[in-house]
Amino acid sequence: MTFQWDAIWSALPVLLEGAKLTLWISILGLLGGVVIGLVAGFARAYGGFLSNRLALVFIELIRGTPIMVQVMFIYFALPLMVPVRIDPFGAAVVTIMINSGAYIAEITRGAVLSINRGFREAGLALGLSGRDTLRYVVAPLAFRRMIPALGNQWIVSIKDTSLFIVIGVAELTRQGQEVIAGNFRAMEIWTAVAVIYLIITLALSYSLRRIEGRLKIL
Amino acid sequence: MIEFKGVSKHFGSTQVLHDINLKIGSGEVVVIIGPSGSGKSTLLRCINKLEVISGGQLYVDGFEVNDPKVEERLIRQEAGMVFQQFHLFPQMTALENVAFGPIRVRGAKKADAEQLARELLAKVGLAERAGHYPSELSGGQQQRVAIARALAVKPKLMLFDEPTSALDPELRHEVLGVMKDLAEEGMTMVIVTHEVDFARKVASRLIFIDKGRIAEDGDPAVLISKPPSPRLREFLQHVS
């Protein structure tokens, strides 16, 4: 079987549409995931009894179930239980938010706890409130330690969006499958799909390396 | 300025401080010595509530430290602390470290805070190091920046927790020199240290803590030259 470049060129506009959607799901989902992760991670590290337990239950629940089950639960089961209508795109974004949020919470907790207790005490001893000490002393140090693990999680989450094929959201993998259903050029199209994912993830790795170079771990 | 009334402190089931009664007035320079694990650092850390006392009463600058209505940060703003391991903020330059307190705690403007920080760095002999990060400074320099950082909040008293224990002998004198200047300016100071010589020359009062109790409390020159108890005599032989 010969590799037909034409099949790729003619499918490219459709695939790029899919790639655009993949990027949107990833960007919105990961922004939300970082917010959820920071809140849950700080709650685990420094929260009171209740917030600590709530965060722990959330993390265990999400880490302990497959993302594919999560997205199907949100898209198919949730509307049966509560009166919400959720479109496939929304379900995909929410799934990435809570799923990456649970992992980012653990990344946050690990980084925060690895900061020498003495820096926190130094902030407190100056007369800063506990909250300001976290904000101005601990968080800037912890963030630097989070970057490598955060990059890892971002790449995992971007690739996880391909699983949303099961709820019919027209992201990159789904678009690839639809093209193949019409032209049967599996070799060309899956190659093109893989390369597009690789371009996205390599661009992310590269920018993370640049950021890491500027924010040394202290 | 500081008053302990029957203060005790437990860590779990271990009692580290027993019935501490101690009054420290304004302008006093009190050196606390004692063996490792005797509770001297804990006693110091109770003053700015880095440790919470288990029993008794403790007053600092008119605040009752264990009164839940008293915000601990108000006490801490009046009691600057210097740590054994310096704990300078590593992501900030020396100048930023010193200006941090005035900006974040006292609400000073950045320009005013930096002006004050420059003056304090000059005072500890580090004016030309203002732009350096802690990792680019020697231990002695870091500790002097840490003293400037604590002074920048304009505290009424200063607490020193073994400020020279992490330093090479030849770097100690530069830190002790800064502390001596501070004592001569009339700053109220409580210093946990093993520097007996410093205690004799600079302190107005020496306290010897043993097994969580105040064992001796008096004039440094007298206590050091004629230790009244065998325990203190033995301890002094070991540290000097």
Of B28, B149, B38, which is closest to residue B93 (Cα–Cα)?
Answer: B149
DSSP string, A27-90: HHHHHHHHHHHHHHHHHHHH--HHHHHHHHHHHHHHHTS-HHHHHHIIIIIHHHHSS----HHH
Beta-strand relationship, B29-33 and B55-60: unpaired
Residues of A in contact with B146 (CB under 8 A): 122
Out of B91, B101, B150, closest to residue A140 by CB: B91
Distances (CA, A) of A20 to A162, A167, A169: 13, 17, 12
Out of B73, B87, B91, closest to residue A128 by CB: B73
Which tokens hold the place of A82?
């509560």
Residues of B in contact with A144 (CB under 8 A): 91
What pLDDT sits at residue A141? 93
Segment A128-142, tens digit of pLDDT: 999 999 999 999 999
- Segment A207-215 shows an average pLDDT of 89
Percent of chain B with pLDDT over 90: 92
Residues of B in contact with A122 (CB under 8 A): 81, 83, 87-89, 146
Q: Which residue has the tokens 């549409």?
A: A17
What size, in residues, is chain B?
Answer: 240
What pLDDT sits at residue A2? 87
- Segment A148-161 shows an average pLDDT of 95
CB contact under 8 A, A118 and B101: no
CA distance A124 to A131: 10
What pLDDT sits at residue B170? 86
What pLDDT sits at residue A218? 76
CA distance B100 to B86: 15
What pLDDT sits at residue B200? 93
Residues of B in contact with A136 (CB under 8 A): 100, 104
Q: Is the pLDDT of residue B70 over 80?
A: yes
What pLDDT sits at residue B54? 95
Element (H, E) at B213: strand B213-218
Interface pTM (ipTM) of the complex? 0.93
Out of A119, A125, A132, closest to residue B89 by CB: A119
Q: Is the pLDDT of residue B183 over 90?
A: yes
Segment B142-160, tens digit of pLDDT: 999 999 999 999 999 999 9
Q: Is the pLDDT of residue A165 over 80?
A: yes
CA distance B73 to B158: 15
Instruction: Please report the residues numbered 111 through 130 in chain A whose beta carbons come closer than 8 angstroms to any beta carbon of chain B.
Output: 116, 118-119, 121-129
A/B interface, count of CB pairs below 8 Å: 63
What size, in residues, is chain A?
Answer: 218
What pLDDT sits at residue A217? 78
What pLDDT sits at residue B240? 67
Mutate which: A126, A128, A132, vs B, most B CBs within 10 A:
A126
Q: Is the pLDDT of residue B236 over 90?
A: yes
CB contact under 8 A, A126 and B101: yes
Cβ(A6)–Cβ(A185) under 8 Å? no
Cβ density class A49-63: b for 16+ within 10 Å, e for less: eeeeeebeebbeebe
CB contact under 8 A, A125 and B135: no
- Burial class, A213, CB count within 10 angstroms (exposed 0-12 / middle 13-18 / buried 19+): exposed
Searching chain B, which residue's CA lies closest to the CA of residue A123?
Answer: B101
